[in-house]
């Protein structure tokens, strides 16, 4: 079984990837999308969004990170993919699933699922622009307004040269509302000859087991569930292992905060830690109390003093 960490724009950036992969159980990450809108991006843009490219394309825990491109112009995407390939990523992923209105309005993300022929041209252009040894993969939803063309879209991506598909088991219209329609992933898996990864509504190890049974997929992608429970991947990969409790989350929060202090502008630091605490509340009652303690604090120094005062001392470096 392979477990992937999902791209989540505005949340799961390199800082959170770093600490979540150190929690264990994740085999590969996909970065938040790099938007391509008609220009050849300088290398610094790729390195800003995926700084792991400076260290062999891996997080500090050694987990590979596959950068993701988002756009709708095959030629421009191919040119950017070629430049990105020169930075030595483990692979390149293409976004055909983003449901954001601002992205869809410009013909990107899930909006592309309305044009299977264009899907094939985009993937084909990128596939031909990068070395044959470099995997080109794709992430899709079941469709835009409905799932009637889900299999057709998956086949179009594979026809273009995608070597793996991640399928978020909802349409753009579904957004993130439960349920996820894992049975539709099974239809796609049976219709294509490449590995298919199931994604959507996997919050617990029990969810993962049911998703694998219904979808038939051995590989899963974890998103919000892993953010809410950093021990989820280990719980899935090693059934019966003790759950990662609040004591195990505290060092991860400390490490995350150190990264935030180093890389995030001071006026945004409090928001980043409160954002993660908001997700952690789902699985950890202690996070609810911590979030309430710092909810109205925006000064980074005051927030850190209040939040970490009850934590055990940091380990000596």
Residues 6+ apart with CB under 8 A from 265: none
Two tokens at 275?
């954002």
Residues 6+ apart with CB under 8 A from 41: 34, 80, 83
| Catalytic positions | 98
Phi, psi of 210 (to 5 degrees): -70, -40
Residue from 18, 172, 26 nearest 95 by CA: 172
Residues 6+ apart with CB under 8 A from 188: 150, 151, 154, 165, 167, 196
Return the bridge partners of 165, or none. Answer: 138, 196
Number of other residues whose CB lies within 10 A of the CB of residue 281:
17
d(CA 155, CA 65): 25
Residue from 88, 81, 72 nearest 126 by CA: 81
Number of other residues whose CB lies within 10 A of the CB of residue 206:
12
């Amino acid at each position: 079984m392979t477990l992937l960490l999902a791209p989540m724009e505005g949340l799961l950036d390199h800082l959170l990837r770093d600490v979540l992969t150190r929690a264990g159980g994740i085999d590969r990450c996909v970065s938040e999308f790099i938007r391509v809108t008609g220009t050849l991006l300088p290398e610094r843009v790729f390195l800003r969004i995926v700084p792991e490219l400076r260290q062999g394309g891996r997080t500090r825990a050694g987990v590979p990170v596959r950068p993701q491109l988002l756009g709708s112009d095959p030629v421009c995407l191919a040119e950017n993919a070629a430049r990105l390939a020169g930075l030595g990523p483990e692979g390149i992923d293409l976004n055909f699933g983003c449901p954001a209105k601002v992205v869809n309005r410009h013909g990107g993300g899930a909006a592309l699922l309305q044009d299977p022929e264009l899907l094939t041209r985009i993937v084909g252009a990128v596939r031909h622009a990068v070395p044959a040894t470099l995997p080109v993969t794709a992430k899709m939803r079941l469709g835009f307004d409905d799932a009637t063309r889900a299999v057709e879209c998956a086949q179009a991506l594979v026809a273009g040269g995608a070597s793996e598909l991640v399928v978020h088991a909802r349409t753009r219209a579904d957004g993130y509302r439960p349920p996820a329609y894992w049975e539709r992933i099974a239809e796609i898996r049976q219709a294509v000859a490449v590995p298919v990864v199931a994604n959507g509504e996997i919050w617990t190890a029990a969810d993962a087991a049911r998703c694998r049974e219904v979808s038939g997929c051995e590989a899963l992608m974890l998103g919000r569930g892993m953010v809410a429970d950093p021990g989820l991947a280990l719980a899935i990969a090693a059934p019966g292992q003790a759950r990662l409790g609040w004591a195990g989350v505290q060092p991860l929060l400390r490490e995350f905060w150190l990264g935030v202090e180093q890389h995030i502008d001071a006026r945004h630091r409090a928001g980043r830690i409160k954002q993660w605490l908001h997700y952690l509340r789902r699985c950890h009652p202690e996070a609810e109390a911590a979030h309430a303690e710092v909810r109205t604090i925006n000064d980074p120094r005051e927030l850190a003093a209040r939040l970490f005062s009850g934590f055990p001392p940091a380990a000596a470096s």
